[in-house]
């Protein structure tokens, strides 16, 4: 009887769950932790920084200083396709690196935040 | 065999739920983590520095210059989309695929902005819009 019920339950789940999908999209290259660690405040020059990280995605002039911004976006999509209802959840997060250079072209500060490390595939659209 | 009412009601409820939710799509798109007033309550204008904010909230999405200092912006999005296709009700009996779709999208775009002085001390802070957050509601009218 238990086997029959389990089979029926499995069949019901099989009929209801039409399929599921995983998709992923990224924009930009990964910001290498080693390259960022090699940049030293007060000593690394603009040329050395460019050699390590390449050209910035955005160049800003803020507070009398040059700010080089590097970013990367990561998107993960999980879809649960049922016969009567479909659930999808897109989660997008970014990694951002700001390198602040003083007037002499020396690195004054580095600000890095990697939000994509904890990015997961999610299906359930409700709640948090 | 006659089914007892206690078994008919759950079956009836399930059938009604299936029929009314035919062809439903529920989609949610989140960009970055949504910030709330509680998340930014630690910021005290005139005392908190941008470095303190970055330690707790991470890097901003953009930093721009202004006449009175630097503006740091944290952007986030919590989009909710719900769609129901009532045309699915006729599919078993129709030679073509009829559609009667209602849908609604709540964008939930917001940003948190900080104005810092030349010493990177926060002088002003505010959310761009004060959204309570959209709900999943396919009714567009």
DSSP letters spanning B75-128: EEEEEEEEEEEGGGGGGGG-SS----EEEEEE--EEEEEEEE-TTSBEEEEEES
For residue A9, is it within any domain?
A: no
Contact B30/A90, CB-based, under 8 Å?
Answer: yes
Beta B69-85 vs A58-62: how paired, if at all? unpaired
Task: Say yes or no for a CB contact (<8 Å) between A60 and B65.
Answer: yes
Structural domain range at position A25: 19-118
- CATH code for the domain of A72: 3.30.1450
A60 to B22: CB separation less than 8 angstroms, yes or no: no
pLDDT, position B106: 87
Report yes or no on A5 lying in a domain: no
Q: Looking at residue A24, what is its pLDDT?
A: 94
Contact by Cβ (8 Å): A96, B61:
yes
DSSP state of B28: E
Q: Which residue has the higher pLDDT, B11 or A47?
A: A47
Closest CA to B112 of B69, B77, B67, B79: B77
B8 band by pLDDT with thresholds 50, 70 and 90: low
- DSSP lists the bridge partners of residue A97 as A70, A112
8 A C-beta contact, residue A89 and residue A76? no
Q: What is the pLDDT of residues B104-118, one digit of tens each?
A: 988 888 899 999 998
- Locate tokens 């960009």: which residue? B31
Q: What is the pLDDT of residue A71?
A: 92
Quick check: ipTM above 0.85? no
Q: Is the pLDDT of residue B58 over 80?
A: yes
Closest chain B residue to A68, measured at CA: B63
When mean pLDDT is compared across A73-77, A108-112, B2-6, the lowest value belongs to B2-6
In a mutational test of the A interface, the residue from B18, B59, B66 whose CB has the highest number of chain A CBs within 10 Å is B59
| B12 close contact with A: CB closer than 8 A | no
Residue A90 pLDDT more than 90?
yes
Q: How much is the pLDDT for A43?
A: 93
**Does residue A67 lie in a domain region?**
yes
**Contact state of A96 with B58 under an 8 Å Cβ cutoff:** yes
Q: What are the residue boundaries of the structural domains of chain B, listed by start?
A: 5-127
Residue B19 has pLDDT above 80, yes or no: no
Report CB contact under 8 Å: B59, A112. Answer: yes
Which of A68, A65, A67 lies closest to A102, judged by CA?
A: A65
Kindly state the percentage of chain B with pLDDT values over 90.
Answer: 25
Q: How many domains does chain A have?
A: 1
Helix (H), strand (E) at residue A53: helix A46-53
């Amino acid at each position: 009887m238990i086997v029959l019920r389990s089979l029926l339950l499995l069949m019901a789940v099989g009929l209801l769950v039409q399929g599921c999908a995983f998709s992923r999209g990224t924009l930009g290259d990964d910001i290498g932790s080693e390259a960022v660690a090699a940049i030293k405040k007060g000593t690394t020059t603009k040329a050395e920084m460019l050699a390590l990280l390449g050209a910035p995605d955005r160049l800003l002039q803020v507070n009398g200083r040059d700010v080089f911004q590097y970013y990367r976006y990561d998107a993960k999509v999980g879809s649960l396709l049922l016969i009567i209802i479909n659930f999808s959840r897109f989660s997008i997060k970014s990694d951002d690196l700001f390198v602040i250079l003083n007037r002499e072209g020396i690195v004054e500060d580095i600000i890095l935040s990697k939000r994509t490390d904890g990015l997961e595939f999610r299906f359930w659209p409700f709640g948090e | 065999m006659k089914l007892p009412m206690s078994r008919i009601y759950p079956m009836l409820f399930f059938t009604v739920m299936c029929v009314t939710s035919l062809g439903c799509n529920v989609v949610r798109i989140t960009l970055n983590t949504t910030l709330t007033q509680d998340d930014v309550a630690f910021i005290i204008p005139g005392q908190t520095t941008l470095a303190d904010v970055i330690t707790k909230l991470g890097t901003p999405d953009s930093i721009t210059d202004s006449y009175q200092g630097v503006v740091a912006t944290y952007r986030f999005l919590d989009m909710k989309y719900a769609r129901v296709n009532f045309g699915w009700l006729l599919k078993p009996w129709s030679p073509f695929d009829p559609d009667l779709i209602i849908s609604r999208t709540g964008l939930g775009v917001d940003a948190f902005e900080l104005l810092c002085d030349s010493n990177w001390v926060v002088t002003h802070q505010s959310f761009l819009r004060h959204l309570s957050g959209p709900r999943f509601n396919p009714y567009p009218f």
